[in-house]
Amino acid sequence: MPLHPQCKAFLDMLASGGGPPLHELPLAEARKVPRMMIELCGPEEPVAHVENRTVAGPVQPIPIRVYRPSDADNQPALMFFHGGGFVICDLESHDRPCRNLANQSGCVVIAVDYRLAPEHPFPAAPEDCYAVTRYVAEHAGEFGVDANRIAVSGDSAGGNLAAVVAMMARDRGGPALRFQLLIYPTTDFEDHSPSIREFDGNFLTIPTMNWFTDSYVPNVADRRTPYASPLRATDLRGLPPAMVITAECDPLRDQGEGYARKLQDAGVPVQARRYEGMIHPFFNLAGIVDAGRTAIADSASAVRAALSAAHV
Q: Find out whether 303 and 183 touch, Cβ atoms under 8 Å.
A: no
Any domain includes 64:
yes
Sign (positive/negative) of CA torsion 159, 127, 302, 265? Answer: positive
Q: Find out whether 303 and 69 touch, Cβ atoms under 8 Å.
A: no
Residue span of the structural domain in which 256 resides = 5-17+52-311
Distance CA 99, CA 251 (A): 27
What are the pLDDT tens digits along the chain (312 aa)?
A: 789 999 999 999 999 988 899 999 999 999 999 999 999 999 999 999 999 999 999 999 999 999 999 999 999 999 999 999 999 999 999 999 999 999 999 999 999 999 999 999 999 999 999 999 999 999 999 999 999 999 999 999 999 999 999 999 999 999 999 999 999 999 999 999 999 999 999 999 999 999 999 999 999 999 999 999 999 999 999 999 999 999 999 999 999 999 999 999 999 999 999 999 999 999 999 999 999 999 999 999 999 999 996 554
- The CATH number assigned to the domain holding 81 equals 3.40.50.1820
Catalytic residue among 146, 191, 280, 299: 280
Q: What is the CA radius of gyration of the chain?
A: 18
**pTM of the complete model:** 0.98
Active site residue 250: yes
Catalytic residue among 90, 128, 155, 250: 250
Any domain includes 40:
no
| Beta-bridge partners for 242 | 180, 270
Any domain includes 23:
no
Q: In the chain, how many domains are there?
A: 1
Active site residue 156: yes
Question: Residue 80 belongs to what H/E stretch?
Answer: strand 75-81
Distance between first and last Cα of the chain: 40
Any domain includes 29:
no
- Provide the greatest CA pair distance for the chain: 52
Any domain includes 25:
no
Angle between the N-to-C axes of helices 95-105 and 290-306, in degrees from 0 to 180, rounded to the nearest 10: 50
Peptide linkage before 123 cis (omega within 30 of 0): yes
Q: Could you give phi then psi for residue 48, rounded to 5 degrees?
A: -60, -40
Q: What integer pLDDT is reported at residue 101 of this predicted model?
A: 98
Q: Find out whether 135 and 105 touch, Cβ atoms under 8 Å.
A: no
Any domain includes 208:
yes
Distance CA 120, CA 201 (A): 27
Q: Find out whether 303 and 105 touch, Cβ atoms under 8 Å.
A: yes
Any domain includes 92:
yes
Any domain includes 41:
no
Catalytic residue among 93, 156, 195, 299: 156
Q: What integer pLDDT is reported at residue 309 of this predicted model?
A: 62
Q: What integer pLDDT is reported at residue 312 of this predicted model?
A: 45
Burial class (CB in 10 A: 0-12, 13-18, 19+), 70: middle
Active site residue 311: no
